[in-house]
Structure 1
Amino acid sequence: MKNETLFYYGLICLVAGVFCLILSKINPNPILGISGWIKPFKFCISTAIMAWTMGYYMQFLSNQNQVSIYNWSLIILLSTEIILIIFQASRGKISHFNQEDATGVMIFSTMALAVTIFMLHTAYIAILFFTQEKFAASEILIFAIQLSLIITVVFAFEGFAMGSLMKHTVGAEDGNAGLPIVNWNKSYGDLRVAHFFGMHALQLIPIASVLIAKNKRDVIIIALVYFAFVTFTLVQAFMAKPFIKL
């Protein structure tokens, strides 16, 4: 990958994620019925994937000055979220939707602000992909990146739905039994499902497009099917139905 800054940052996040996973076995420090270290593990791995994905995609942008700015925007803003999540995990406290005390409120508000700014900056990168006329990559790949960026940004802001409820579970309080690792609720609706799949449109739509699309129409179909699927998981969650009931 040409973007060394995000490549090495992704490696740092990967190592941090592995460290959190080890801590989940050594010192579970349970929060809402699951090891408190699982959440920072997931966010570290997700951030590593985000960094590597955007680092790879942005090599096709001609405005590398904006790419450099985005690199540090991603590093500073997402590191802020990860550090605060790790800090709360070490205290045995929830990080998101924490209203227990002034510290919890401040931490949650800071994370929400950092992620909002980051996704707005990502939306700007999407604009650069749409306004640039020529790319040193296939038309199918670039079009898939453009559409995946739109879906990713849209469902990133679905996080505001969780923020308005101050929880991610619909039909019950947070903390019920969940699926392994992802911890999505097995009995009630969980807004994290649509958030997860929406965010990872950034990887899945371009991969599917490169593998099976023969033209831009095929890319549109792939993106529409994926968007419909993620929207279905969102509606399902708001109806208090679990993604998978076990």
Structure 2
Amino acid sequence: MSNILAFSNALLRCEPYIVAVGLLFLAMAPLTLLGLALDDRTISAVPVWLKPLKFQLSLAVHMLTIALALGTLDRSVRQAWGVKVILLILLAMSVFETGWITLQGARGLPSHFAADAFDVAIYALMGIGATLIVLSTALLGVLILRYPGYGVPQLVSRAVGTGLIISGVTGLVTGWAIAENGGAVVGGTGVAGLALPLFGWSGTDGDLRVAHFVGLHAAQCLPLLGLALNTWKPQTAVPAILVIALLWSAATLGLLIQALAGQPFISLV
């Protein structure tokens, strides 16, 4: 019951404009799905609407996660100008990334690693935007650990703050790895090779998107695991979530090393 009350209180403290942007991204997804069903254009054998759909859903989940996480931050800190600036940057960069990727999908052009001079310039800005998003996420995690909200259980603040930090740091490292590699796939077959259903990860070569995905979603999974632990073994929940955080980080690093070695997450050959 205490977990439910803590969750409900956090929902009530959500920032409405963060929620609104998250819901906007969700509202875009059905139209993108329609495009995916009706438009047979591809970029490097990948449907043009697939990447916009992934980013819309991913950033929708991220925005709603941030909105909920802010409910665990001390109210006075949450209202400080510094946090408002962080949130403004996070929102602006998320709207820019989602909007540009969706526009490029509609144009049938790549949003990443483009050849056109203008698109290359925008891609550079996207790199800056993505970096600011993950850094903002990690910084909010630090603030939540340092200034938990009044009445927020220690487990909740630890799980939420640690999850955001891991998400931000691993998102930054794996994102840079993708950029430095010139794409997500490490190996000779490339994106035209066999891919895992739904995710699109390469089944023949290393794919940096696996580590990127796992690292980023620490923001959602750690709080959920923490709440489950608190229900099952509340006396060990707080130290256990720290152990899980270390294991999660190690797993992300392991997946990154696997991909850089050119080995697929799951081999389809």
Render the CA deviation track for 1:101-122: whole Å, top value 9, x for unaligned.
2022112111111111222222
Q: C-alpha displacement at 1:41, in angstroms?
A: 0.4
Provide the residue aligned with 1:211 in structure 2. 228
TM-score under structure 2 length normalisation: 0.85
Change in CA separation of 1:5 and 1:182 when aligned onto 2, cut-off 3 Å: same
Instruction: Structure 2: state its 5+ residue gaps.
Output: 1-10
Per the alignment, residue 71 of structure 1 pairs with 87
1:134 CA drift (Å): 5.3
1:84 equivalent to 2:96? Answer no
**Counterpart amino acid of 2:24?**
I
Worse-superposed segment, 133-142 or 54-63:
133-142
Q: TM-score normalised to the size of structure 1?
A: 0.93
Alpha-carbon distance in structure 1 between the residues aligned to 2:143 and 2:200: 36
2:183 counterpart SS class: coil
Match of 1:228 in 2: 250
Partner residue of 1:180?
A: 197
2:218 maps to amino acid: A
1:217-242 CA-partner distances (Å, limit 9, x unpaired) = 11112212222222221111111111
Q: What RMSD, in angstroms, separates the aligned Cα atoms of the two structures?
A: 1.7
- Equivalent pair of 1:38/1:181 in contact (CA under 8 Å): no
Amino acid of the structure 1 residue aligned with 2:216: M
Structure possessing the higher radius of gyration over alpha carbons = 2
Looking at structure 1, the residues matched to 178 and 154 of structure 2 have their Cα atoms a distance apart, in angstroms, of 36
Q: Give ranges in structure 1 of 5+ residues lacking alignment.
A: none
Task: Return the match for 2:144 from 116, 124, 129.
Answer: 129
Distance 2:147 2:91 in 1: 25
Residues 151, 227 of structure 1: 8 Å contact kept: yes
Distance of 1:86 and 1:57 partners within structure 2: 27
What are the equivalent positions in structure 2 for 1:47-126 lying under 5 Å apart? 47-62=59-74, 63-66=77-80, 67-98=83-114, 100-126=115-141
Note the C-alpha offset of 1:31. 1.2
Aligned residues with identical type, % of pairs:
29
- State the partner residue of 2:39: 27
Contact 1:126 1:146 in 2 (8 A): yes
Question: Is the 8 Å Cα contact of residues 162 and 245 (structure 2) preserved in structure 1?
Answer: yes
Stretches (4+) displaced over 6 A: none
Alpha-carbon shift at residue 71 of structure 1 (Å):
3.5
Aligned-residue offset at 1:70: 3.6
Are the counterparts in 1 of residues 28 and 56 from structure 2 also a CA contact under 8 Å? yes
CA distance in 1, matches of 2:119, 2:193: 21
> What is the CA–CA distance in structure 1 between the aligned matches of 2:177 and 2:249, rounded to whole Å?
18
